[in-house]
Amino acid sequence: MELRAWRDLCHRLEALGESLLDDAYPAAPEDRAEGFAHLAEQVVCWLGWSVGHADPRRPAFHRQNDLVTQWGGPNADNAYRHARVHPSLRYRLRGHMHGCDDFILAIRAGFMHEPRHGTLVEVTGSDLGIGRGDEIDLLLGEGAIPLPEGSAMVSIREYYIDWQEEEPAVWTIACLDEDQPAPPADGEAVAAQLADAATSIEHSMRYWRDYMLDARAAGRPNTFAASQRVAKGLPSARYAFCFWHLGPDEALVIDTDVPAARYWGLQLYSMGWFEPIDPTGRITSLNQAQTSVGPDGRVQVVVAHADPGTPNWLDTGGRGDGLLTLRWFWPDSDQAPAPTATVIPFEAAGRARPEMAQRRAHLAWRFRT
């Protein structure tokens, strides 16, 4: 049984690799090479989740969307972790915030790319009175945070706004209703976990590919689509998307008012894989603490292949196509910013950015790399 499941997993991964040569995926040699690396990362991610974190009676946090296992357009200001839960059980979450500014804790039915998905409960650290340097001690399934029917996981998004070399948040989770050792592994359970991993890898690869293709087809290049809430996402989240298409001597100038929200930022993503573009080597994201605001209270950001010599440069990494996302969370009202995008000629020479070293050092602390 286990061998059949392993062979099936390998055959399904082989088919996914062959599908990367289809026209639906980016076709440039560097994109295809990156696609196979992305597939390998998805294998690491979902095998870890399905096999190593399968039992809600013995949960542990699984870190995803870090510097390796990226999928679905993760936010560069976040660290993500997930643990299995079951609505019939109770759990205790303990830890310490250290240098983490805030967090969102969500009880979810499944990941966005899965058939069963959605956020069932959402709470925010600051709304619970938990902030930088504070202890964390929360109960799930009783007390303030319920586990409704259909709950499958607890997901944590940690927010790091001022990127400094500080200790990141630490979390633990324990089931209060189970203190027995895990039973020995059996073939049926392992086979089911391998099948679940194969399905999760397939869903992630195909869902996010189609998500990007559909979103780009619904709009025009170098133009912001209307702001939106993602139906399957967090209730507090708002987004505005702009797919750029730039020649080697062009730049995209973004002009927007400051979002009326507790948190906001802009970030660049690759096509096909919906990964952040080289967060440790290039400045491809800016949040409210990293962005220069003009004297008129507006923000101007330049998306370009090289440094234009102006504040708020986002580095495409030489990519002619990609996605720029403006996100703002915990808005003060329903009034959305109205960003504009304008293509202009690029005529300035590039130069190194001194803040890159600080960003790289912070990420090394946050993800312990």
Here the CATH number for the domain that contains residue 309 is: 2.60.120.1600
For the entire predicted model, the pTM comes to 0.92
The torsion angles phi and psi of 286, rounded to 5 degrees, stand at: -145, 135
Is there a domain that residue 293 lies in?
Answer: yes
Residues 172 and 85 in one domain: yes
Question: Which H helix or E strand runs over 124?
Answer: strand 118-124
Side-by-side strand order, sheet with 135-140: 135-140, 91-96, 170-175
Question: By the 8 A CB rule, do 46 and 193 touch?
Answer: no
**CA nearest neighbour of 87 among 133, 120, 111:** 120
Residues 88 and 173 in one domain: yes
Is there a domain that residue 65 lies in?
Answer: no
Residues 282 and 337 in one domain: yes
Is there a domain that residue 70 lies in?
Answer: no
Residue 13 token pair: 């991964």
Residues 241 and 312 in one domain: yes
Cβ neighbours, 10 Å, residue 347: 8
Distance (Å, whole) CA 197 – CA 42:
10
Per DSSP, the residues of 211-239 read HHHHHHHTS-TTSBPPPB--TTS-TTEEE
Number of domains in the chain: 3
Residues 277 and 227 in one domain: yes
Looking at residue 136, which CATH number applies to its domain? 2.60.120
Is there a domain that residue 125 lies in?
Answer: yes
- Per-residue model confidence (pLDDT) at position 237: 86
Residues 137 and 254 in one domain: no
Residues 86 and 131 in one domain: yes
Side-by-side strand order, sheet with 250-257: 313-315, 298-304, 250-257, 340-345
Residues 325 and 230 in one domain: yes
Distance (Å, whole) CA 261 – CA 93:
28
Question: By the 8 A CB rule, do 312 and 268 touch?
Answer: no
SS3 191: helix
Question: By the 8 A CB rule, do 145 and 121 touch?
Answer: yes
Residues 44 and 125 in one domain: no
The residue range of the domain holding 125 is 75-177
Residue at which a domain ends, from 177, 198, 230:
177
Per DSSP, the residues of 281-330 read TS--EEETTT-PPPTTSEEEEEEESS--SSSSEEE-TT-SEEEEEEEEEE
SS3 93: strand
Residues 271 and 287 in one domain: yes
Residues 242 and 344 in one domain: yes
- Per-residue model confidence (pLDDT) at position 16: 97
Q: How far is CA 108 from the centre of its chain?
A: 15
- Per-residue model confidence (pLDDT) at position 350: 38
Is there a domain that residue 249 lies in?
Answer: yes
Residue at which a domain ends, from 191, 218, 245:
218
Name, in order, each residue with C-beta under 8 angstroms of 286's C-beta and a sequence gap of 6 or more. 265, 266, 267, 301, 312, 314
Residues 350 and 247 in one domain: yes
pLDDT by position in tens, the chain (length 369): 999 999 999 999 999 999 999 999 988 888 999 999 999 999 999 999 999 999 999 999 999 999 999 999 999 999 999 999 999 999 999 999 999 999 999 999 999 999 999 999 999 999 999 999 999 999 999 777 999 999 999 999 999 999 999 999 999 999 999 888 888 989 999 999 999 999 999 999 999 999 999 999 999 999 999 876 665 556 788 999 999 999 999 999 999 999 999 999 999 999 989 999 999 999 999 999 999 999 999 999 999 999 998 899 999 999 999 999 999 999 988 888 999 999 999 874 234 345 678 888 899 989 976
